[in-house]
Every structure is written in C-alpha cells, then in structure tokens.
A = this chain, B = another copy of it.
C-alpha cells in the first residue's frame, strides 16, 4: 500500500527509540500523520493483530466467568465527583465535551468505574446477584500532558476493563490474584511478554483503590512500562455509588470491588519491542494476522500453474486452521521476502517449479531465519512449528528479563544498575506512606522509581533499607520507567 519499503535504517540495539518509530511505520502498524496530537491511526496490519489479541484476552476472561457489555463513552461530571480520590486523580486527564442543552459537564471516559457503578447499584440486590463479573472492550481517552508515544502513551487507546463485585474482601482479593494469573496466561504464555506483578507503593496506586498491582514489563531500552493493572477497590466506590446487597441473613452490605485493565494497544507496543529484530517485526504465531505468507515464484510461462499450486497449499493450510495469504503481486520474490519479514509473519512458504516437481515447499522461519524443505504432505507440521516459534520468542524474552534483575546492596550499586538499563532488587523500608521519602530520594538521586513488591509471592527480608538504613520491611524493584 504505502511506499515505506526502504527498510529499517537503524539497528535495534543501537537506537531502540528510532528503531521503534521506524518499525511501527514501515511495517504499517500505525500512521502518526493524523492531524491531532497524540491520536494515531491503527493501520490494517496493526488492527488485525490487535483483533487477535482481543480475541485471546476476551476468551480467557469469559472462561473465568466474565461477560461483555458496552457502556456509553460519555460520563457526567457528577459521577466523577462521587469518589473523592478518583476525581482528584483523573480530572486533570479528562477531555470534556462542549456544553449540551439539558446536560451538565460531560467527560470522555478515561476509565469507566464511575459509569459502571451507578448501574451496578441498580443491578445488584441480593447475594444471589454476586459475584458480578463484567467487562467491556473499549476505547478510552486521556489528555496526556507528557510526551505521547504511539501505542505506548496515546490520547486515545484500546483496552479491556473488567469491573467485578463480590460479597467479601477475601473474594475480591482472590480476584486480584486471578487477574494476575490472566495476565500470566495471556500476556506472558501467549504473547511471550514476561512481567513482574508489582504491588504498587501507597503513593503510586490507582485513584480510588485500596491497592494496585501493575504488571511491569522491561522494554529493550531498560525502561519499565506498566502493562495490565488490577486494583482492589475495596468498598470505596460501592459506598460512593451505593452498591449494596442483602446477604443470606437479609443484612444489607456494601459490595467489595476490583477492576482490571489490560490495554491491548499498549501490550502490542511491548510485543513489537520485545520480539522484533533488525529486519523488522516478529509477531507471535498465535496473534499474527497471517501465520504463513505464500510466495509463488513464477515467470510469464508458469505463472498460472504456480499460483494454482499456491492456492491448493492455501486450501490445505485453511483446512488445518492455519491462516495464510498468497502474495501474487508483480514484485520480485526478493522484495516480497523483504516486506513480509519486515511485517513479522512467522513463516514463509516459497513455491516454484522445482518445489512442485518434488512435491515440497521451501519453508522460511522468521525468527531463526532458517530455510528448509517441507514435503507438501507434511504441511500440518507447521502447527507444531508455530507452537515452537512462540516458545522460542517467550524463552528469549524470559532470558532477557531474568538477566536484568540484579540484587543491589547500596545506592551506588542501584545507580550503576539503573544506568545499565537494568532492574535493581533491593531491601526497602516500606511501601506504605512512611516509605515515600526514601522513594523520592531515589527518584531524584538515581532517576528511577520504586515499582513495588512482588504481588503474588511474599519475599522475606531481614536487611536494611538501602536509603534510610532502617530495618527493611520489603524487597522492592527499582527501575526507570516510561
């Protein structure tokens, strides 16, 4: 479509930021030339990938008892005001509509707690209505004042938000753990993106939450990015929005709430960044728009015959549940190889005269860049190869992250590790309010953030806080962030 095929002019290791800008443009994931700051166009190659990501994510949520819904994009200001920390946290980021006759001030949703929960107060009456687990796939809007970056921090982005209600705090906390598990199943096991589930320090939690768990992913530039977060909202919102139920003894109680927000477009940014190489994208087999690109190698005389054979191969792949496309354009095969490698398709099938005679194809694998012959009768092996493909991407990413987490005993060590684009694991006084001063010190002095403690495993410590020297209650992870 566009003429961006001049290829990447920079290596990922040498200049990640420029590599990222080039790859999302040249592989036609996004187009940044839309004429409003911070709003980007997601092109078909990006949109098809995002749709596949949504599909896997929604299937996982539905399996765990969530049901979809669609709420209005617009939320009255009065709703925001009901929960006091929420209004403080989000108001600066809100896009407002111009005044409309008969309505108060209306916001474009930055997130939808204050849209959902007034309805929950109408829908929930009895313990029989609980648990209530509902999500929506939605676009949300935040008036970012920081520099925007395509897919990473845009003023409009694409996410899922799940809003759940329970009878007890225990059930709600179990949901937070289930959400971490969902992130693990989908973002890590499927998309190949490892993360640290970080219980955030008190001063860094979601506006309105009791506590927040953010899934931190390390990007190749050594900065951590927050991926899906899940929040124990406790009864803050249920009290503000009057969401009550009658328990088995007929006693009225406020529900316990959680919410979970995987930002699909942002996760795509991590998928692109983690797996890509100097030739371009590498998209996991399980979410690639096509899993196989078929390149017929023909001349004038045998074009029809070879395209026909390609179609037969595509039919076989279809019947095996493998998504493919034939590139029968007039470009030279080399150009086509180049373009589809840039776009990150996991496998390429080359088929020419020789292949047809020998009843085989040539199979190119995007990540290993190996070519090998494959008998046409063995095409079904590509399914297994696809699983191995995703397994390789995941292992590589796991290794990348694991090697970057470094135990540090002093501020000097932290400073060094952060400079190297790694994550410092340290003893720290506290992630409650009383630890904030030490965190502020690190932010200024070491230019890094206390991301929190592991949320799915208690790490014991008997050491001292690396900043203030007081007995450390926590093991925290420190990194530079987006």
What is A's interface to B at a CB cutoff of 8 Å? 1-3, 31, 33-37, 39-44, 46-48, 50-51, 67-74, 76, 78-79, 95-98, 100, 102-103, 106, 108, 115, 118-119, 122-125, 128-129, 132, 134, 136, 139, 141, 143, 156, 158, 329
Q: Which residues of B lie under 8 Å from residue A47 when comparing CB positions?
A: 67-70, 136
Q: Knowing A67-B48, A119-B31, A129-B1 touch, does A36 contact B98 (C-beta < 8 A)? A: no
Q: Knowing A36-B103, A36-B106 touch, does A70 contact B98 (C-beta < 8 A)? A: no
User: Are A102 and B37 closer than 8 Å at their CB atoms?
Assistant: yes
Q: Which residues of B lie under 8 Å from residue A143 when comparing CB positions?
A: 100
Of B3, B39, B69, B71, the residue contacting A74 (CB under 8 A) is B39
Q: Which 3 A-B pairs have the closest CB atoms?
A: A44-B67, A39-B72, A42-B70
User: Are A72 and B34 closer than 8 Å at their CB atoms?
Assistant: yes
User: Are A51 and B68 closer than 8 Å at their CB atoms?
Assistant: yes
Q: Knowing A1-B123, A51-B68, A96-B98 touch, does A73 contact B139 (C-beta < 8 A)? A: yes
* Nearest chain B residue, comparing its CB with the CB of A35: B76
Give, as a whole number of angstroms, the nearest-CB distance from A447 to chain B. Answer: 28
- In the assembled complex, the Cα of A100 lies from the Cα of B128 at a distance in Å of 46
User: Are B106 and A41 closer than 8 Å at their CB atoms?
Assistant: no
Q: Which residues of B lie under 8 Å from residue A118 when comparing CB positions?
A: 34-35
User: Are A156 and B73 closer than 8 Å at their CB atoms?
Assistant: yes
Q: Which residues of B lie under 8 Å from residue A76 when comparing CB positions?
A: 35-36
Give, as a whole number of angstroms, the nearest-CB distance from A330 to chain B. Answer: 8
* Chain multiplicity (copies): 2
User: Are B72 and A41 closer than 8 Å at their CB atoms?
Assistant: yes
User: Are B69 and A119 closer than 8 Å at their CB atoms?
Assistant: no
9 more CB-based (< 8 A) A-B contacts, given A35-B118, A39-B72, A44-B134: A1-B124, A31-B119, A35-B78, A43-B69, A46-B69, A46-B70, A48-B68, A100-B143, A128-B329
- In the assembled complex, the Cα of A139 lies from the Cα of B47 at a distance in Å of 16
Q: Knowing A43-B69, A98-B98 touch, does A119 contact B33 (C-beta < 8 A)? A: yes
Q: Which residues of B lie under 8 Å from residue A72 when comparing CB positions?
A: 34, 36, 39-41, 156
Q: Which residues of B lie under 8 Å from residue A1 when comparing CB positions?
A: 123-124, 129, 132
Q: Which residues of B lie under 8 Å from residue A129 when comparing CB positions?
A: 1
**Chain A to chain B contacts (Cβ below 8 Å), 6 pairs:** A1-B123, A34-B118, A37-B102, A39-B74, A46-B70, A74-B156
- In the assembled complex, the Cα of A43 lies from the Cα of B100 at a distance in Å of 26
Of B41, B68, B74, B119, the residue contacting A119 (CB under 8 A) is B41
Q: Which residues of B lie under 8 Å from residue A34 when comparing CB positions?
A: 71-72, 115, 118-119
- In the assembled complex, the Cα of A272 lies from the Cα of B366 at a distance in Å of 48
User: Are B33 and A70 closer than 8 Å at their CB atoms?
Assistant: no
User: Are B37 and A103 closer than 8 Å at their CB atoms?
Assistant: yes
Q: Which residues of B lie under 8 Å from residue A46 when comparing CB positions?
A: 69-70
Q: Which residues of B lie under 8 Å from residue A79 when comparing CB positions?
A: 35
Q: Knowing A1-B123, A1-B129, A122-B2 touch, does A44 contact B31 (C-beta < 8 A)? A: no
Count chain B CB atoms within 10 A of each CB in A70, A71, A97 and give the residue with the most: A70
* Nearest chain B residue, comparing its CB with the CB of A139: B73
Q: Which residues of B lie under 8 Å from residue A36 when comparing CB positions?
A: 72, 74, 76, 103, 106
Of B102, B106, B115, B123, the residue contacting A2 (CB under 8 A) is B123
- In the assembled complex, the Cα of A35 lies from the Cα of B115 at a distance in Å of 9
Q: Knowing A96-B97, A106-B36 touch, does A70 contact B31 (C-beta < 8 A)? A: no
- In the assembled complex, the Cα of A184 lies from the Cα of B112 at a distance in Å of 37
Q: Which residues of B lie under 8 Å from residue A69 when comparing CB positions?
A: 41-44, 46-47
User: Are A70 and B158 closer than 8 Å at their CB atoms?
Assistant: yes
- In the assembled complex, the Cα of A100 lies from the Cα of B100 at a distance in Å of 17
Q: Which residues of B lie under 8 Å from residue A102 when comparing CB positions?
A: 37
Give, as a whole number of angstroms, the nearest-CB distance from A319 to chain B. Answer: 16
* Nearest chain B residue, comparing its CB with the CB of A115: B34
Q: Knowing A31-B122, A41-B119, A67-B48 touch, does A141 contact B95 (C-beta < 8 A)? A: no
- In the assembled complex, the Cα of A406 lies from the Cα of B2 at a distance in Å of 52
* Nearest chain B residue, comparing its CB with the CB of A143: B100
Q: Knowing A43-B69, A70-B42, A72-B41 touch, does A100 contact B106 (C-beta < 8 A)? A: no
Q: Which residues of B lie under 8 Å from residue A33 when comparing CB positions?
A: 119, 122
Q: Which residues of B lie under 8 Å from residue A100 when comparing CB positions?
A: 95, 143
Give, as a whole number of angstroms, the nearest-CB distance from A258 to chain B. Answer: 18
- In the assembled complex, the Cα of A100 lies from the Cα of B38 at a distance in Å of 12
- In the assembled complex, the Cα of A315 lies from the Cα of B43 at a distance in Å of 39
